[in-house]
Amino acid sequence: VPVLKDALVVCNIGIPSQELFSIRDRENHFYMLGSMGLCSSIGLGLALTTNKSVVALEGDGALLMNLGTLATIGNRAPDNLILLVIDNGSYGSTGDQATYTSEATSLA
């Protein structure tokens, strides 16, 4: 993906980090292997301290654990932050338990 080539990339726990690593590991990738729900917050912090593009790859389950960060992102509105949410309706890395997005909740 061209936008990922020079951007700082933060990827959430588990399977998404494994997939990104297998596609192409780069020095500018930060894989969150031991925490859930902070990818968007770390991405925001990076975006506020650099002029580089920042991409935060967040899962729906992780984002639901930290919805407050969306208000902060909206308030600060950094032009260099892309928040990409992968919504598969489950906590994929912890056993595929259903999230609220598997029912009526939409993150769009």
**Per-residue pLDDT tens over the stretch 4-24:** 778 999 998 777 788 888 888
Domains (range + CATH), the chain: 2-102 (3.40.50.970)
pTM recorded for the entire structure: 0.85
Strand partners, 9: 29, 55
Q: Which residues contact 39 (CB under 8 A, 6 or more apart)?
A: 10, 11, 12, 13, 32, 56, 57, 58, 62
Nearest to 55 by CA among 101, 20, 97: 20
The predicted-structure confidence for 42-83, as pLDDT tens digits, reads as follows 999 999 999 999 999 988 888 888 999 999 999 999 999 999
